[in-house]
């Protein structure tokens, strides 16, 4: 007897498959690793984003919270524990530093952002993360995207008129702020959704790991001990 694939049946089948995939860890998430300004500065930046959204009919500007995204990528959820472990290994060795924000910049003709003038230490973290990029590569079509120019986004994916009119105004606006970077956050969201959830917060511990010369050549037990 032929099975009638009604919409109700198809919907039930879809959610059953999603449940199976989720329990097996095959669900794909979008992830981001970022620096986050303190609350007061975040609120100030959100006011700039709100002004842009209202003036230039760009509500999407409000969906992106103020942060410095170091890398974003797609990966299976089952890999999350390995990513968490590696991020912690990196942040354990980092020291806190000051991030300076000054005025605005743009990526013609689609993005307006706040300039970051203190770039070196941020890019050093990106370099550390890049060394672990195999953990962040889903497949050949979905590779991690690493930060190349430190910034905090005001609005992106702008239409030509939004960019032209917005940049005409923001090019001459003044902005100044600073915050102490003392941790990174790991964010995740399911594909197709807008809101990121915090999956982890990793403080900078300033731990200097010393490796004795002999330890480099010591055999490890099968369990890594």
Output the domain CATH number for residue 186: 3.90.1140.10
CA angle, corner 105, sides to 99 and 106, nearest 5? 130
The token duo for 137 is 């590569």
pLDDT at 18 over 60: no
pLDDT of residue 8: 52
pLDDT of residue 1: 44
Q: Is residue 15 in some structural domain?
A: no
Q: Is residue 48 in some structural domain?
A: yes
Cα distance between residue 178 and residue 42, in whole Å? 11
What pTM did the predictor assign?
A: 0.80
Give the model's confidence band at 89: pLDDT under 50 very low, under 70 low, under 90 confident, else very high.
very high
Q: Is residue 84 in some structural domain?
A: yes
Query: Cis bond leading into 7, ω under 30°?
Result: no
pLDDT at 220 over 90: no
Give the model's confidence band at 193: pLDDT under 50 very low, under 70 low, under 90 confident, else very high.
confident
CA atoms within 13 A on the CB side of 173: 18
Q: Is residue 78 in some structural domain?
A: yes
The phi and psi torsions of 156 (rounded to 5 degrees) equal -140, 175
E strands in 27-67: 28-35
CA angle, corner 157, sides to 201 and 38, nearest 5? 30
Once rounded to an integer, what is the mean pLDDT over residues 149-157?
97
Domain membership of residue 162 as a residue range: 28-204
pLDDT of residue 5: 54
The total domain count for the chain is 1
Give the model's confidence band at 212: pLDDT under 50 very low, under 70 low, under 90 confident, else very high.
very low
pLDDT of residue 11: 52
Once rounded to an integer, what is the mean pLDDT over residues 148-157?
96
């Amino acid at each position: 007897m032929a099975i009638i694939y009604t919409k109700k049946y198809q919907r039930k089948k879809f959610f059953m498959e999603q449940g199976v995939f989720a329990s097996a860890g095959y669900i794909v998430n979008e992830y981001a690793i970022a620096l986050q300004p303190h609350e007061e500065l975040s609120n100030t930046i959100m006011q700039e984003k709100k002004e842009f959204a209202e003036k230039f009919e760009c509500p999407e500007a409000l969906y992106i919270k103020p942060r410095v995204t170091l890398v974003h990528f797609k990966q299976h959820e089952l890999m999350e524990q390995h990513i968490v472990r590696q991020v912690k290994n990196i942040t354990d060795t980092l020291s806190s530093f000051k991030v300076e924000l000054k005025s605005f910049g743009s990526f013609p003709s689609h993005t307006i952002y706040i300039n970051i003038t203190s770039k070196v230490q941020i890019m050093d973290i990106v370099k550390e993360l890049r060394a672990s990029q195999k953990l962040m590569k889903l497949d050949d079509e979905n590779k991690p995207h690493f930060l190349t120019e430190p910034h905090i986004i005001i609005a992106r994916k702008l239409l030509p008129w939004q960019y032209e009119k917005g940049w005409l105004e923001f090019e001459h606006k003044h902005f100044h702020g600073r915050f102490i970077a003392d941790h990174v956050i790991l964010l995740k969201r399911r594909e197709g959704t807008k809101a990121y959830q915090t999956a982890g917060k990793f403080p900078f511990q300033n731990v200097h790991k010393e490796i004795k010369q002999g330890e480099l050549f010591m055999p490890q037990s099968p369990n890594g001990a």
